Amino acid sequence: MKKDGDRAISGKYANLPAYIGLILLACLTLTPILWALSTSLKIPEEVIQFPPTVVPSVLDFSNYFKVLFQSNFMTYFRNSVVVTSASLLVSTVLSMHCAYAIARFDIPYKNALMFGILMTSMIPTVALLIPLYIMAVQLDLYNTRLWLILIYTGWRTPVLTWMMRGFFEQIPKELEEAALIDGCSKMRAFYTVILPISQTALASSALLTAVYVWNDFLVSFTFVTEENLKMLSVGLYSYVTQYGIQWGELMAAVCLSIIPIIILFVCLQKRFVAGMAAGAVKG
């Protein structure tokens, strides 16, 4: 009986080192965010105080008031929401149709096609900036949100196609065959049978695209210079002025900017994990 008890105790704490490691990693990851939150709630004198204080002596919300009502933060925020939402929608719709066609139809040179699609996502961003800049000027799309949406859609679609293809390949073909026997066309079977059970793949695609577009700096900085069209990642640099860095307002803006992504991740967390696991089985 004693041996059985020892085995039960050892089994109970077998994963303890893993949990401790994960907790330490989570603390390390959260440290910059918590420090930004602490700085955003300090008065200006305390922000530059040395040695710095971890917990504000007085909670001051004036930085948030200045960011929301006395700066262009809401303009940057609106631009990011528009570009991210449009890029997310278009890239997800395109990739789900491409992935389904590749997973189900007998396409000549399918593997070569998939390899070519994957290669497009491996080209460094910097290498494409000059050609894209020339195209934007010639097409009169420079300083427009439409050009940002086109670029982000073009860069996210190949990756999402690869991920969603693995998911569609695991769906039994018998489901579609049953729908075809009942009189559905292939297109209708896709929309009425396959898509409803593909929520995990769609959620994963949406979250990955949202995080990528929302956090991107290089593209939005290169192709948009007008103040009323800047995205949030670029607009944050408006708090870095020639007279110094407005640390309190900058940290308040940073804390506000990560809220939408956190909310989106919390809402899609379960589907995101399941979709990533499903899409990784086959490629």
Nearest-10 Cα torsion for 96, 98, 102, 106: 130
Output the pTM of the full model: 0.82
C-beta of residue 248 within 8 angstroms of C-beta of residue 63: yes
- CA 203 to chain centroid, in Å, comes to 11
Q: Are 273 and 283 in contact (CB under 8 A)?
A: no
Residue 81 is predicted with a pLDDT of 93
Contact 100, 168 (CB under 8 A): yes
pLDDT at residue 281, rounded to an integer: 44
The amino acid at residue 84 is T
pLDDT of residue 6: 53
Looking up tokens 């990955």, which residue turns up?
Answer: 208
The pLDDT value given to residue 272: 57
Print burial letters for 246-265: b (CB count within 10 Å at least 16), e (below 16).
bbbbbbbbbbbbeebeeebe
Q: Which segments in the chain show pLDDT lower than 50?
A: 1-2, 275-283
Distances (CA, A) of 20 to 13, 16, 44, 210: 11, 6, 37, 31
Reply yes or no: is the peptide bond before residue 51 cis, omega within 30 of 0: yes
Other CB atoms within 10 A of residue 39 CB: 21
* Angle, CA 209 vertex, CA 176 and CA 166 arms, to 5°: 35
Helices 110-120, 73-104: inter-axial angle, 10-degree rounding: 170
Question: How far is residue 47's CA from residue 54's CA, in Å, rounded to a whole number?
Answer: 10
- Per-residue model confidence (pLDDT) at position 202: 84
- DSSP structural state of residue 217: -
User: What gap in Å lies between CA 124 and CA 93, rounded to an integer?
Assistant: 24
Residue 274 pLDDT: 54
Write the pLDDT tens digit of every residue in 189-243: 888 888 888 888 888 888 888 888 998 898 999 999 888 899 998 988 888 877 7
Secondary structure of residue 244 in the 3-state scheme: strand
The number of residues in the chain equals 283
For the chain, give every residue range classified as CATH 1.10.3720.10.
63-279
Q: Are 219 and 151 spatial neighbours (Cβ–Cβ below 8 Å)?
A: yes
Q: 256 and 67 in contact (C-beta within 8 Å)?
A: yes
Residue with tokens 């577009």: 213
CATH T-level fold of 63-279: MetI-like fold (1.10.3720)
**Which residues have a Cβ under 8 Å from the Cβ of 243 and sit 6 or more positions away?**
none
What the block records as the tokens of 209 is 């695209």
Q: List C-alpha distances in Å: 203 to 150, 183, 200, 236, 247.
A: 21, 29, 5, 28, 35
